[in-house]
Amino acid sequence: MEIVHTPVLLQECLDYLSPVGELFEKNALMIDSTLGEGGHSFAFLSKFPGLHIIGLDADKNIQARARERLSLFGERMNFFNGWFNDFYENYDMSGERPDLILFDLGISVYHYEKSGRGFSFRHDEPLDMRLNASEGESAGDIVNSWKEDELANMIYLYSDEKMSRRIAKAIVEARMGGKITSSKALAEIIWNAVPANYRYGQIHPATRTFQALRIAVNSELRRLPKALHSAFNVLKDGGKMGVITFHSLEDRIVKNYFRNLGKQCVCPPEQAVCTCGGTACAEILTRKPVEPTAQEVKTNSPSRSAKLRVVRKIHDASAQHFMAIEEEAM
């Protein structure tokens, strides 16, 4: 089987989330919340013989690839097909709880190159973009049914695309002549919608719109705050949780949640009595986000915007910690 995705910040993850020297070193449970093709899990299982992992992924097709790749580890590797927020919200707290949790929020290169679901405009594919192809609206449903202002607001909110209103207007006009059904067709509409001097920047003018559509289709930002909060409370006291982000929207959510976990109190200033516990819930292990080296960016270009943040749990977080970031997820 050809592996098409190279895991980002791999050595940094192995270092920060290492079980070596921990009380759980000889029998640690890790949850890989975004399994993909299994690159991070493969490296962790290879390096740490006392570790076993549960790998989560909403996409059953890519998880099948990971199952094949990780089969040599036998019972040390288990799988869950579904959304990570659902997994953590419904976790059996009477069973074994994880010592380590990893989220890699980037989309896999597999989805761009092999899924056939229109994540990229490099290939002419059906405009789908769903990680779980059996549920929810597809990207095609959105571009062919949402109102112009809804499209414009979504594109701007999820990508900071300054041409969002031009692009939304062009999409609505184009679909009057027939449904927009392919990634190439949408990219061409966007190309023609923007000014000539906007077409030859560092990225293709459709890049941000495709990012925004993918986020909207899979409710990525809506799922994230609850997933972080639930995962942190599932984690054992003394355990470590790391999150890799790739764009400013998700990084802001992670940064603010981790910052709140490290605070003594997160109650609103106007609240007279503290109800959040009044003590820090976590030790922040990465005061600044860990970023890829120049060499990694050179050899694995998708890593260029990656940021890793890691905390060590002291005790469970309160509802106030979640409420402080919930409003950031549009």
Q: What is the DSSP letter of 238?
A: T
Per DSSP, the three-state class of 302 is helix
For residue 192, the one-letter residue type is N
3-state secondary structure 45-67: HHHCCCEEEEEEECCHHHHHHHH
Q: How much is the CA Rg of the chain, to the nearest whole Å?
A: 21
| DSSP E strands, the chain | 28-32, 51-57, 77-81, 100-104, 240-245, 282-284, 307-313
Give the whole-angstrom CA distance, residue 77 versus residue 192: 48
**Of 308, 209, 299, nearest to 254 (Cα)?**
308
CA dihedral sign, ordered 85, 86, 90, 91: negative
**Two tokens, residue 258:** 């981790």
**Two tokens, residue 12:** 């940094």
* pLDDT attached to residue 269: 77
Q: At what angle do helices 60-70 and 39-47 cross, to 10 degrees?
A: 20
Domains contained in the chain, CATH given: 10-110+222-326 (3.40.50.150), 133-217 (1.10.150.170)
* pLDDT attached to residue 226: 96
pLDDT along the chain (330 residues), means of 10: 83 98 96 96 97 97 95 97 97 96 91 90 94 93 98 96 97 97 97 92 91 96 96 98 95 95 83 80 96 95 94 93 68
* pLDDT attached to residue 236: 98
Indicate whether this model's pTM tops 0.85: yes
Cβ proximity of 307 and 283 under 8 Å: no
* pLDDT attached to residue 292: 96
* pLDDT attached to residue 329: 55
Could you tell me which residues come within 8 angstroms of residue 12 by beta carbon, excluding any fewer than 6 positions away? 290, 308
49, with CB counted inside 10 A (0-12, 13-18, 19+), is: exposed
**Of 128, 127, 45, 85, nearest to 230 (Cα)?**
85
* pLDDT attached to residue 327: 62
**Of 123, 111, 136, 132, nearest to 182 (Cα)?**
123
* pLDDT attached to residue 197: 87
